[in-house]
Copies of this chain bind each other. A is one copy, B any other.
Amino acid sequence: MTRLLGLDPGLRFTGWGVIDAIGNRLRHVADGVIATDGELPVPDRLRVLHDALVGLFSTYAPEEAAVEETYVNRNGSSTLKLGYARGVALLAPALHDIPVSEYGAMAVKRAVVGTGAATKEQVEMMVRRLLPGAVIRRADASDALAVAICHAHHRTSALKVATGTRMA
Contacts A79-B83, A83-B84, A87-B84 given; does A95 touch B41 at CB 8 Å: no
Interface residues of A, count at CB 8 A: 29
For residue A163, CB closer than 8 A to chain B, the reply is no
Give the complex CA separation of A90 and B41 in angstroms.
10
Q: Restricting to A82-141, which residues have a CB under 8 Å from any CB of B?
A: 82-88, 90-91, 93-95, 100
Taking CB as reference atom, which chain B residue is nearest A45? B94
Chain B neighbourhood of A44, CB < 8 A: 94
Chain B neighbourhood of A46, CB < 8 A: 87, 90-91, 94
Chain B neighbourhood of A86, CB < 8 A: 80, 83-84, 87
Taking CB as reference atom, which chain B residue is nearest A48? B94
Chain B neighbourhood of A80, CB < 8 A: 70, 72, 79-80, 82-83, 86
Give the complex CA separation of A44 and B93 in angstroms.
9
Give the complex CA separation of A87 and B100 in angstroms.
18
B79 touches A42 (CB 8 A): no
Give the complex CA separation of A88 and B42 in angstroms.
11
Name the one of B73, B88, B94 contacting A87, with C-beta atoms under 8 angstroms.
B88
Chain B neighbourhood of A72, CB < 8 A: 76-77, 79-80
Name the 8 nearest CB pairs between A and B, nearest first. A83-B83, A84-B87, A72-B76, A87-B87, A43-B94, A47-B94, A43-B90, A80-B83
**6 A–B contacts, CB within 8 A, in A order:** A46-B90, A72-B76, A76-B79, A84-B84, A84-B86, A88-B91
